[in-house]
């Protein structure tokens, strides 16, 4: 919000800003409730982690995938997301009332259709959930020249970008609330992702939107410059 406040000649510190938000009941309340969306106790092959302590240097070099739950009055729905780790653009998604492999597969199919640089090598990183390890999913990914990578521990920080975007969609775009039904949840998700990709600026992207960064692949952003000394860059 700093850029917008400066445009309006409003000078206010962070603590004062939060005080104003709190006084008008505009702060988002965080809850401790969670719903398990990962089942890694299965017999499918689990791929090793190819991206630990590495960061991408261009769009469509690394995609991260995850599933989060959306509450409705008829029970839980599930949202599968495929996000570009460099630009933070959500490339594909699918929301439905089940957690079957088809949910993630549909999100991946959308992501592939939305590729801008299909000739470049791409890694797909996820947790070890049965959806991503299912041969139907892994075969489809490999047929589209995508290399699979998976977390090796149960630490959410191993897939931090995906976890952070789940949180953003829920807390900033109303997907945390209990929604009437699946149809409405799908409409709200579509709108939220459009705003996130095309209108929401990111401090880590020099106040550009994910779409702007994705299309301008030759620009280096400060979030990656900052980590240059600590992290090894991907070389795929």
Separation between Cα atoms, residue 5 and residue 1, nearest integer Å? 6
The average pLDDT across 180-192 equals 96
Burial of residue 183 (number of CB atoms within 10 Å: 0-12, 13-18, 19+):
exposed
The pTM assigned to this predicted structure is 0.76
Residue pLDDT, tens place only, 74-131: 999 999 999 999 999 999 999 999 999 999 999 999 999 999 999 999 999 999 888 9
Angle at 116 between CA 111 and CA 121, to 5 degrees: 80
Which domains can be identified in the chain, with CATH numbers?
1-30 (no CATH), 31-233 (3.30.420.10)
Q: How confident is the model at residue 13 (pLDDT cuts 50, 70, 90)?
A: confident
Q: Which residues are bridge partners to 179 per DSSP?
A: 72
For the cut 50, the answer to whether the pLDDT of residue 231 exceeds it is no
% pLDDT > 70, the chain: 82
SS (H, E, C) 125-137: EECCCHHHHCHHH
Residue pLDDT, tens place only, 124-143: 999 988 899 999 999 999 99
**Which CA distances in Å does 66 have to 126, 168, 232?**
6, 14, 24
């Amino acid at each position: 919000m700093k850029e917008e406040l400066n445009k309006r000649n409003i000078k206010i510190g962070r603590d004062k800003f939060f005080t104003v938000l709190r006084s008008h009941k505009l702060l988002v309340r965080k809850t401790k409730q969670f719903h398990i969306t990962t089942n890694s106790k299965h017999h499918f092959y689990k791929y090793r982690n190819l991206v630990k302590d590495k960061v991408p240097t261009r769009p469509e070099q690394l995609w991260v995938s995850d599933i989060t739950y959306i509450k409705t009055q008829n029970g839980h729905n599930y949202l599968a997301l495929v996000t570009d780790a460099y630009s933070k653009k959500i490339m594909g998604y699918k929301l439905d009332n089940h957690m079957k492999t088809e949910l993630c597969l549909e999100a991946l199919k959308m992501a592939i259709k939305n590729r801008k640089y299909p000739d470049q090598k791409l890694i797909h990183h996820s947790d070890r959930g049965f959806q991503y390890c299912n041969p139907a999913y892994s075969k489809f990914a490999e047929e589209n020249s995508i290399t699979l990578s998976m977390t090796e521990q149960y630490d959410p920080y191993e897939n931090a970008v995906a976890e952070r975007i789940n949180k953003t969609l829920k807390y900033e775009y109303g997907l945390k609330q209990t929604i009437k039904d699946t149809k409405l949840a799908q409409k709200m998700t579509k709108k939220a992702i459009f705003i996130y990709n095309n209108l929401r600026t990111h401090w880590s992207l020099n106040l550009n939107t994910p779409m702007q960064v994705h299309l301008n692949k030759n620009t280096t952003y400060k979030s990656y410059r900052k980590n240059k000394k600590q992290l090894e860059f991907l070389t795929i």
